[in-house]
Amino acid sequence: MSIKEMIAEHPDVAGNDNEALTQAVKHAMYGAAITNSCADACLAEPDAEDRAECIRRCLDASDACTAAYRIGSRRTGGNVEAIKAALSLAITACEACHAHCSKHDDAHCKRCATMCEEVIRDCRAALDAM
CATH number where 79 lies? 1.20.1270.360
Q: How far does Cα 34 stand from its chain's mean position?
A: 9
Q: At 50, is the pLDDT very low, low, confident or very high (cuts 50, 70, 90)?
A: very high
Burial 48-76 (b: 16+ CB within 10 A, else e): eeebeebbebbbbbbbbbbbbbebbbebe
Q: How many residues does the chain have?
A: 130
For residues 49-71, average pLDDT: 96
On whether the CB atoms of residues 106 and 81 are closer than 8 A, the answer is no
pLDDT digits (tens, 9 = 90+) for 83-130: 999 999 999 999 999 999 999 999 999 999 999 999 999 999 999 988
- Domain count across the chain: 1
Q: Which domain holds residue 97?
A: 3-129
On whether the CB atoms of residues 29 and 113 are closer than 8 A, the answer is no
Q: What is this structure's pTM?
A: 0.91
Cβ count near 31 (within 10 Å): 31
On whether the CB atoms of residues 65 and 90 are closer than 8 A, the answer is yes
DSSP 2: -
